[in-house]
């Protein structure tokens, strides 16, 4: 069975509305002969004359009258599908968005983001999940809507990314720790006992490489998977935690923070999503909310 020509629906809709081949041709910017050929194809396809001669004009057959409302509705729905999306009524929007991030993001940016969303779109609910790795499959498969992270060579190439903020690693110790006083040199920093952070369980990282370039090595007392855990241990011991500054702001309350005396570059935290959501107005609105919340001082 051959696939029907859906362009004929538009032609039929105009013919039924105009009741004239000539007027329908002008409306669709076709020649009268082209419109006559289209009417012939419609008659062949439907098995009905559709429009028949009555004096000087054409009148619809019973089948055409029965089809008129349905055809008009189908054409309107097709036009709506192909038309660019209209305005977004945030007050009526009901949707759940899932955001995946590392620990610290929700604690530091979540309260302002939730307040913003509640004020603008009370029917929207945010669902925050932990980010155990950089696997792009959850974004690709639609399990999550957005993700925050550092774009690197292992980031899925099809993902969209937009910078949110710059961050850097800092050192954090409990109040009253010996590093709270005096200049913190690379030697003093390396001499303490450290809590290292690695999702993959690696004891060596960028900080160790920077120390090695200075001929130094730190003593790792324990290894954890999350920055929040490292800060909790440092708060209750003499361990030194090295964590991202902006990600850990609220988690460091009451503790002493200091710039690392090491040649470590800053890094960019970005917002990532799958290109299927590029033109989604609600998704675009939420991306804008996250960018503005993260840009606020």
Which residue segments constitute the domains of the chain, with CATH numbers given? 7-82 (1.10.10.10), 90-167+268-295 (3.40.190.10), 169-265 (3.40.190.10)
Q: Note the pLDDT of residue 85.
A: 57
Q: What is the pLDDT of residues 236-274, one digit of tens each?
A: 999 999 999 998 988 999 999 999 999 999 999 999 999
Alpha helix locations (H) across the chain? 7-18, 21-27, 32-46, 62-82, 105-120, 137-140, 186-191, 206-213, 227-235, 281-295
User: b/e map of 215-227 (b: 16 or more CB within 10 Å)?
Assistant: ebebeeeeebebb
Q: What is the pLDDT of residues 90-116, one digit of tens each?
A: 999 999 999 999 888 998 999 999 999
Q: What is the pLDDT of residues 150-192, one digit of tens each?
A: 998 888 888 899 999 999 999 999 999 999 999 999 999 999 9
Q: What is the pLDDT of residues 53-93, one digit of tens each?
A: 887 778 889 998 888 878 888 887 777 666 665 678 999 99
Q: What percent of the chain has pLDDT over 90?
A: 56
């Amino acid at each position: 069975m051959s696939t029907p020509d859906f362009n004929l629906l538009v032609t039929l809709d105009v013919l039924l509305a105009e009741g004239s081949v000539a007027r329908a041709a002008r409306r669709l910017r076709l020649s009268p002969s082209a419109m006559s050929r289209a009417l012939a194809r419609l008659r062949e396809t439907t098995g009905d004359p559709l429009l028949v001669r009555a004096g000087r004009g054409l009148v619809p057959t019973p089948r055409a009258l029965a089809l008129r409302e349905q055809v008009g509705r189908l054409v309107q729905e097709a036009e709506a599908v192909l038309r660019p999306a209209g305005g977004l009524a945030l007050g009526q929007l009901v949707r759940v968005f899932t955001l995946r991030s590392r620990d610290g993001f929700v604690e530091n940016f979540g309260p302002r983001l939730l307040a913003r969303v509640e004020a603008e779109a009370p029917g929207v609910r945010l669902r925050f999940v932990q980010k155990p790795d950089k696997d792009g499959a959850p974004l690709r498969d639609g399990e999550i809507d957005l993700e925050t992270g550092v774009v690197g060579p292992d980031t899925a190439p099809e993902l969209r990314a937009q910078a949110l903020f710059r961050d850097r690693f800092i050192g954090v110790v409990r109040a009253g720790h010996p590093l709270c006083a005096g200049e913190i040199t690379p030697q003093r920093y390396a001499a303490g006992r450290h809590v290292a952070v690695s999702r993959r369980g690696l004891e060596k990282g960028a900080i160790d490489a920077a120390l090695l370039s200075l001929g130094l090595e730190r003593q790792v007392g324990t290894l954890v998977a999350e920055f929040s855990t490292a800060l909790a241990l440092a708060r209750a011991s003499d361990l030194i935690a090295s964590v991202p500054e902006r990600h850990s702001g609220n988690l460091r309350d009451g503790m002493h923070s200091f710039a690392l005396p090491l040649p470590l570059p800053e890094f960019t935290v970005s917002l990532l999503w799958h290109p299927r959501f590029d033109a989604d107005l609600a998704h675009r609105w939420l991306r804008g909310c996250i960018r503005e919340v993260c840009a606020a001082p």
